[in-house]
């Protein structure tokens, strides 16, 4: 796949076909050309959701340094680390662009805290997932409303579940194409990219926080632990996700390439 080849208006394909075409071409492209190729292949709004982790900062740099027509948004759960907010501000200052925030619905947060307590998400996996649903999944739905493509910082080596994720796939629940342009990158590759380009990053990474989410749900990773061991560490199960990254399934709608 030539990342710079234009796609004609007559090139109408089902989303699965577009996802497969992107997946087959991504392997031989660098990050910028993966993003540029996705921007050309998918008509309509393309969105990166950033949590300001190392991966998202690398993608943000690639988008903004090349002025790609891709929206960058974040989900402010209300429980983020002070260092994350500081990086948010630093990133906007560095690139001269606002990163739009989506917040949880006030009534839903109030109802959850009233029922479970301020840190009631530790009581059970179901309670934690309910908190994630209120603070992250529902705002994500609004952030992606009307989007044709969703870009994430998911990497295969982050977990066994993510290891079987494709570069591009159809997210049936949200009706769009989901893209993972860093899927085959190692953490060392991401860190080297960030260092090489002087990309701002969360100082918590220097303190052993490999995966950074909400402050009460994240701890530093101990030597020898997997990357996501610091997320919801009190839960005794291998698959620990907040609900943002569900497995994709085919949908009948078409996405028209421009």
pLDDT tens for each residue of 92-112: 999 999 999 999 999 999 999
If pLDDT is split at 50, 70 and 90, which confidence band does 243 have? very low
Residue 90 lies in a domain: yes
User: How many domains does one find in the chain?
Assistant: 1
Check pLDDT > 60 for residue 218. yes
pLDDT (0 to 100) of residue 249: 35
CA angle 19, 23, 26 (to 5 degrees): 130
Residues contacting residue 9 through CB under 8 Å, at least 6 positions apart: 256, 258
Q: How far apart are CA 106 and CA 112, in angstroms?
A: 10
Domain of 121, CATH number, reads: 3.40.50.620
Residue burial 120-142, b: 16+ Cβ < 10 Å; e: rest: bbbeeeebbbbbbbbbbbbbbee
Is 69 inside a domain boundary? yes
The angle, 0 to 180 degrees and rounded to 10, between the axes of the packed helices 31-41 and 54-65 is: 70
Is the model's pLDDT at 162 over the cut of 70? no
The pTM (predicted TM-score) of the whole model is: 0.85
- Is the confidence at residue 90, as pLDDT, over 80? yes
Distance CA 117, CA 222 (A): 29
114's CB contacts (< 8 A; 6+ apart) are: none
Average of pLDDT values for 113-140? 94
Residue 142 within any structural domain of the chain? yes
Residue 9 lies in a domain: no
The single residue of 132, 214, 217, 242 carrying the catalytic annotation is 242
Residues 237-242, mean pLDDT to the nearest whole number: 50
State the Cα torsion 4-183-151-15 to the nearest 10°.
70
For residues 15, 21, 23, 28, the Cα torsion angle rounded to the nearest 10 degrees is: -160
131 is catalytic: no
Of 137, 105, 107, 98, residue with least CA distance to 241: 137
Four-residue CA torsion sign, 46, 62, 186, 232: negative
Report yes or no on 255 lying in a domain: no
Helix (H) or strand (E) holding 143: helix 138-143
Residue 107 burial by CB count (10 A; 0-12/13-18/19+): exposed, middle or buried? exposed
Q: Which residue from 147, 151, 173, 167 is spatially nearest to 255, judged by alpha carbons?
A: 147
Residue 93 lies in a domain: yes
Dist. CA 163–CA 156, nearest whole Å: 4
Q: Which domain holds residue 86?
A: 14-236
In a domain, 112, yes or no: yes
Residue 123 lies in a domain: yes
């Amino acid at each position: 796949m030539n990342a710079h080849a234009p796609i004609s208006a007559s090139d109408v394909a089902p989303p699965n076909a577009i996802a497969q075409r992107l997946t087959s071409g991504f392997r031989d492209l660098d990050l910028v050309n993966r993003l540029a190729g996705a921007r050309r292949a998918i008509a309509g709004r393309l969105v990166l959701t950033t949590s300001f982790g190392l991966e998202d900062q690398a993608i943000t740099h690639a988008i903004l340094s090349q002025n790609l027509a891709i929206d960058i948004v974040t989900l402010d759960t209300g429980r983020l680390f002070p260092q994350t907010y500081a990086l948010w501000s630093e990133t906007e200052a560095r690139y001269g662009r606002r990163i739009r925030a989506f917040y949880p619905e006030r009534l839903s947060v109030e109802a959850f805290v009233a029922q479970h307590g301020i840190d009631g998400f530790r009581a059970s996996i179901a309670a934690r997932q309910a908190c994630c649903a209120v603070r992250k999944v529902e705002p994500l739905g609004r952030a992606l409303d009307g989007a044709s493509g969703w870009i994430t910082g998911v990497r295969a080596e982050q977990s066994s579940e993510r290891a079987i994720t494709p570069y591009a796939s159809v997210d049936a629940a949200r009706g769009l194409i989901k893209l993972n342009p860093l899927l085959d990158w190692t953490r060392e590759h991401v860190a080297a990219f960030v260092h090489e380009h002087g990309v701002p990053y969360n100082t918590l990474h220097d303190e052993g926080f490999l995966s950074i989410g909400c402050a009460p749900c994240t701890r530093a990773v101990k030597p020898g632990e997997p990357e996501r061991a610091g997320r919801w560490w009190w839960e005794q199960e291998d698959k620990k996700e907040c609900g943002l990254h569900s497995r994709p399934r085919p949908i009948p709608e078409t996405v028209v390439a421009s």
